[in-house]
Amino acid sequence: QVQLVESGGGVVQPGRSLRLSCAASGFTFSSYAMHWVRQAPGKGLEWVAAISHDGSDKFHGDSVKGRFTISRDNSKNTLYLQMNSLRAEDTAVYYCARAGNSVRDWLDTWGQGTLVPVSS
């Protein structure tokens, strides 16, 4: 079945870097755009980044622009989020989600999320 599994979360100090991964299975990964969405503890959903099916187009939210980078490796069926210069306000559960052929499409499949606490 269609499945997304995030990994790479964990406690990280402010100013440090972390890379999240999202392993996809059960569908043709290279045909779908992908997104990262985060949720701070007790708060709502915040869109983080999106990437086209072939990786040629990338979009990042204002709060992470210049610090976070979305990427993908279609040969490994894996989505990534490189997070640099982390701040306390980046503390959240990070979800990867599948869109359709376009980044504009709805998010029809979500992973279970990985927690990133940013703390000294």
Partner 1 sequence: SYELTQPPSVSVALGQTASISCGGNNIGTKSVNWYQQKPGQAPALVIYRDYNRPSGIPERFSGSNSGNTATLTISGAQAGDEADYYCQLWDSSGFFGGGTKLTVL
Distance CA 49, CA 35 (A): 6
Is-contact 60 48, C-beta < 8 A? Answer: yes
Site for partner 1 contains 120 (CB under 8 A): no
Binding part of the chain for partner 1, among 15-23, 24-32, 38-46, 73-81 by CB under 8 A, reads 38-46
Query: Which residue type, as a one-letter code, is found at position 91?
Result: T
CA 12 to chain centre: 17
Size of the site for partner 1 (CB under 8 A): 23
CB of 102 to partner 1, least distance (A): 8
Of 2, 11, 40, 45, which one interacts with partner 1 (CB under 8 A)?
A: 45
> In the block, which residue shows the tokens 């610090």?
67
Distances (CA, A) of 66 to 69, 83, 88, 98: 8, 10, 17, 23
Measured from the CB atom, the residue of 91 and 111 that comes closer to partner 1 is: 111
If the CB atoms of residues 99 and 118 are measured against partner 1, the closer one turns out to be 99
Residues that bind partner 1 in the complex, under the rule CB under 8 A = 35, 37, 44-47, 50, 59-62, 95, 97, 103-108, 110-113
